[in-house]
Amino acid sequence: MGAAFPGSLDQQSLWDEVFERRYRGDRLARRLFLGAGVRTRHGVVDPRREDVSGWSTAARMRRYVDEAPALGGRAVRGALADAGLSAAEVGLFVVVSCTGYATPGLDIQLARELGMPASVRRLLIGHMGCYGAIPGMGAAADFVRARRLPALVLCVELTSLHIQPEQPHRDLEQVVAHALFGDAAAAIVLVPDAAHGLEVLDTTAATAPGSEDLMTWHVTDHGFRMGLSREVPDVLAKHVEEATASLLDPFTADRGDVAGWAVHPGGPRIIDVVEERLGLAAAQTAVARRVLATRGNCSSGTVLLVLDQIRGGLAAGATAVAMAFGPGLTLCLAALRRR
């Protein structure tokens, strides 16, 4: 595994220098912004120094093309070094992103720059949001098993490019979106028959019926605009137990056999709901809260950041679960075992 981050942003400073003025000192906006569970995060755009809120989507995509390759390349090099592989050995390169697009894309650019073979298979997973790493991991694991070649999954999210224009009225959904999200790149390498690491046992997904409007990510003339209903945690609460049981039943007796939980920290209430419904202790979600506090919600790569921090504490043979949530409303989960 490997990760990379752009410059650091202090949450209190962001409120004091940017968003207090934007939201005209509104007390509820302040409480939501500073109560999002984030202390620091990262961004290729620092809104204290550069205001991109009025930029066109085209201008934001040009910035994505400028920034994403270097950030993604750092994460990939770290993951390859961790795996003891060279880029020339990669058989499949999966790139996950919902915050920027270009064709030819980041996948082909990085494959060339990093020295992957011309025959490398490439897969771009776009606009799936915060759970995109899990289907990326599942596709890569299937490839590794079938082809007996290494695969690499890279998540690159530059959420700071999508700060929205100031509105004449208070929009609490945008307050939360502006408070939560940070930029990051995270990468994992999957290889056949590894002597150590985390074995991907299976992945699964569950989409809540009739929940499409609860979490959205719309392309507008001024970047991508987040829609985030306050109902999201309650809907997740209705489905997370069944989804987790569906994943684990073939591999382990019950949730109590799981030694590590990599929960996507979509926000404090999301983590609360997972704790409550799965009967987890605070210690079992402490890493998720720490990632939220220090990195923010980095969309697709966040669950990999949590997984990276818990993997070292797993004993041989221990089972771990990674889970993430996003538009749909969809829950994606992966079962892993320490080798």
Query: Mean of the pLDDT values across residues 308-332?
Result: 95
Query: Mean of the pLDDT values across residues 49-73?
Result: 98
Whether the CB-CB separation of 166 and 192 falls below 8 Å is answered with no
Band of residue 329 on the pLDDT scale cut at 50, 70, 90: very high
CA distance linking residue 206 with residue 325, whole number of Å: 10
Does one domain contain both 209 and 273?
A: yes
Does one domain contain both 235 and 303?
A: yes
- CATH code of the domain containing 218: 3.40.47.10
- Catalytic residue, chosen from 130, 155, 298, 332, is 130
Query: Mean of the pLDDT values across residues 198-202?
Result: 96
How many C-beta atoms lie closer than 10 Å to residue 220's C-beta? Answer: 12
Instruction: State which amino acid sits at residue 202.
Output: D
CA distance linking residue 205 with residue 334, whole number of Å: 9
* Coil, helix or strand at residue 153: strand
Does one domain contain both 59 and 124?
A: yes
Quick one: pLDDT at residue 195? Answer: 87
CA distance linking residue 14 with residue 8, whole number of Å: 11
| Domain's final residue, options 166, 190, 214 | 190
Output the average pLDDT for the chain.
95
Does one domain contain both 172 and 262?
A: no
Angle formed by the axes of helices 232-248 and 268-278, to 10°? 50
Largest CA-CA distance found in the chain, in angstroms, rounded: 58
Residues near 267 by Cβ (< 8 Å), separated by ≥ 6? 36, 37, 176, 180, 233, 292, 297
Among residues 265, 274, 260, 275, which one has the least CA distance to residue 310?
260
How many C-beta atoms lie closer than 10 Å to residue 53's C-beta? Answer: 17
CA distance linking residue 294 with residue 284, whole number of Å: 18
| Domain's final residue, options 190, 209, 228 | 190
Does one domain contain both 23 and 55?
A: yes
The CA-based angle 3-8-12, given to 5 degrees, is 135
Does one domain contain both 217 and 322?
A: yes
Percent of the chain beyond pLDDT 90?
93
pLDDT tens profile 85-111: 999 999 999 999 999 998 999 999 999
Quick one: pLDDT at residue 164? Answer: 95
Does one domain contain both 167 and 32?
A: yes
CA distance linking residue 57 with residue 118, whole number of Å: 32
CA distance linking residue 29 with residue 20, whole number of Å: 8
pTM, two decimals, is: 0.96
Quick one: pLDDT at residue 154? Answer: 98
Whether the CB-CB separation of 3 and 75 falls below 8 Å is answered with yes
Domain count, the chain: 2
Among residues 48, 42, 58, 55, which one has the least CA distance to residue 9?
42
For residue 115, the enclosing domain spans 2-190
Query: Mean of the pLDDT values across residues 111-115?
Result: 97
Does one domain contain both 83 and 135?
A: yes
Among residues 155, 152, 151, 91, which one has the least CA distance to residue 126?
155
Band of residue 174 on the pLDDT scale cut at 50, 70, 90: very high
pLDDT tens profile 204-237: 999 999 999 999 999 999 999 999 898 999 999 9
CA distance linking residue 11 with residue 141, whole number of Å: 37
155 tagged catalytic: no
Does one domain contain both 145 and 233?
A: no
Quick one: pLDDT at residue 253? Answer: 64
Whether the CB-CB separation of 291 and 333 falls below 8 Å is answered with no
Does one domain contain both 6 and 47?
A: yes
CA distance linking residue 259 with residue 321, whole number of Å: 8
Band of residue 251 on the pLDDT scale cut at 50, 70, 90: confident
Whether the CB-CB separation of 309 and 287 falls below 8 Å is answered with yes
| Token duo for residue 171 | 């929009």
Does one domain contain both 10 and 109?
A: yes
Does one domain contain both 30 and 148?
A: yes
Percent of the chain beyond pLDDT 70?
99
| Domain's final residue, options 169, 190, 211 | 190
